[in-house]
Amino acid sequence: MPVNSVKHTGFGVSLSESASMNLLLKNGTCVTPSGTAVADIGIVDGRIAAIGTIGTAAAEVIDCRGLHVLPGVIDSQVHFREPGLEHKEDIATGTAAAALGGVTAVFEMPNTRPATTTAALLADKCRRAKGRAWVDMAFFVGASAENVVELATLERLPGCAGIKLFMGSSTGDLLVPDDATIAQVLANGNRRVAVHAEDERRLKERYTIVEGGADVGMHPEWRDVETALAATRRLLALAQATRRRVHVLHVTTAEELPLLAEHRTLATVEVTPQHLTLAAPECYRELDGFAQMNPPIREGRHRAALWAAVANGLVDCIGSDHAPHTRDEKNQPYPGSPSGMPGVQTLVPVLLNHVAEGRLSLERFVDLTSTGPARIFGIAGAGRIALGYPANLTVVDLKHRRMITHLAMASRCGWTPFDGLTVTGWPVMTLVRGRIVMREGALLGDPAGEAVRFLECL
C-alpha cells in the first residue's frame, strides 16, 4: 500500500478515496490493540491495509453490523492423525473442522504413524497439507532419544511449530520418561518446547488399579493429581537447569498452578475447553468412555482453580487438544479404550458461551486464543488486528444461540463431547490471509492453507 494513500481517522487509519481494496468488512465491532470499537477493515492482497472509517471502493463489501471481528483464532494443539491413522482424521477433514469453527491456524502434533521425528517426515506432512489444508498449519517434531542431537536443527525447519515432548505415555509411541534424556532435549535448541507432563513411572505403578478392566470413572484415579504434579515439578527443575523455555500443555490440577506461577520466566501454561467446561464424576456418568482424555477431566475443585488461573493471568492460552477417535474405538472397555476428544470445531463456540455467561471477557478470549499463542510461539504477523498484518480474522455473532450436535461436526470421527449443548456465541466467518474460507457454516473456495511462519525461523 503506498504511503501517500493513508490518512488518519479517529479510530485508526484508512485508505484514500483513490485506492481500491479486495475486501472491505464494514461496521463490525473490532477488537484491536487500541480497544474495542466499531470500525471498517480494508484488505488488500491478503493483508490488513486500513482500519477505521473507510469510504474507499472494494471488490467485495460485507456488512458486519452486529458482529464482532476478532484476530484469527489459533489452535496450538491438534492431532489430525495423518499419516497412519486416517480412519480417525486427516489434514483435509481436520482443517475443514477448524475453518468451520472459526479457527484460522493450527499446530499439529507429532504422534502419528510414523511419528514426526525427522526432517523427511516433517517435509512429508508439509507436502500432504499443500492444497488440502483449509487453514494455515505448522507441525511439531516429536522429541526422542534417537533424534535428540538433531532437535536444534529440526526446530528451525520450514513448517515446524517447535519440539513436542511426551513425559508420559499417551496416544502413539513417543515417550521420553527419564530426566537425563529430557535434559538433553531441553539442552538442544532454543525455541519453546511444548510438553505433555505426566510422570511415566507413577503411571506404570498405578496401572494395577485399572488393569484387567475398570469403570472409566477411575481414569482420574489412575492418572491422579500426583502424576501430573510430579512431572511438572521435574520439568520445571530441568528447564531451570538448562535455561530452556517450556510450554506446559493441558494443565489440569489445582496443585500445579502455584508451582507454575513460581516459574513464569520459563514456563507458559495451556488449558483446554474440556477441562474448563466438564467435571468429574458427572462427565464420566454422562459420556462414559467419550469423556476419557489425558490428562483426565478432574473434579470440580480443579475446574474452579483453572478458571481462577484464567482470571489472574496465569493461563497463557487455550488449545483444543483435538484428538479424535472413532466411536467403535471409544466404546471399547476401559482401560483398553483410547484417550482423546475432538475439539477444534467447538473451541470457539464453547468459549464464547463462557463469555456470554460472564466467566470470560471477550478481550481475554482474544488473548487466550490469538494473542497468547502468537506471543508464546513467536508467530510472525499474528495475534492482533493491525496494519500490515495478514488478514487472518474470526468473525463471530455473540448473540447467536445454537445447539452443538454430532451431525454438524466435520471431523471424520463424527462426534463431539458437547453434543446437545446449546451455546450463545457462534463463528460466522473465517478469513485466512484475506480469503473467506468459511461463511455462515459453509466452506468456500478451495483449501489453500500455508505454513505458519515464526519469527525465530525467518
Q: Which residues are catalytic?
A: 321
Q: What angle do CA 338, 343, 345 make, to 5 degrees?
A: 145
Half-sphere exposure of 343 (CA within 13 A, CB side): 29
Phi then psi for residue 58, to 5 deg, are: -145, 150
| Rounded Cα–Cα distance for residues 359 and 195 (Å) | 27
Query: Of 354, 365, 347, whose CA–CA distance to 409 is shortest?
Result: 347
Tell me 370's DSSP state.
I
CB atoms inside a 10 Å sphere around CB 175? 20
CB atoms inside a 10 Å sphere around CB 180? 9
- At 13, the amino acid letter reads V
Phi then psi for residue 436, to 5 deg, are: -80, 110
In the beta sheet, which residues pair with residue 41? Answer: 25, 51
Helix axes 91-100, 119-129, angle to 10 degrees: 60
For residue 183, give the 3-state DSSP assignment. Answer: helix
- The b-or-e profile of 269-307 (16+ CB within 10 A means b, else e) is bbbbbbbbbbbbeebbeebbbbbbbbbbbbeeebbebbb
Reported as type and span, the H/E element at residue 28 is strand 21-32
Set of cell numbers at residue 236: 520445571
Query: Of 131, 87, 133, whose CA–CA distance to 108 is shortest?
Result: 133
Phi then psi for residue 303, to 5 deg, are: -60, -45
- For residue 328, count CB atoms less than 10 angstroms from its CB and return exposed for 0-12, middle for 13-18, buried for 19 or more: exposed
CB atoms inside a 10 Å sphere around CB 208? 9
Query: Of 131, 84, 130, 80, whose CA–CA distance to 107 is shortest?
Result: 80
Residue pair 351/318 in contact (Cβ under 8 Å)? The answer is yes
Reported as type and span, the H/E element at residue 205 is helix 200-206
What is the C-alpha R_g of the chain?
21
Cis geometry, peptide bond prior to residue 114 (ω within 30 degrees of 0) = yes
> How many angstroms separate the Cα of 390 from the Cα of each of 179, 385, 446?
41, 9, 19
Going by DSSP bridges, is the β-strand pair 160-166/193-196 parallel, antiparallel, or unpaired?
parallel
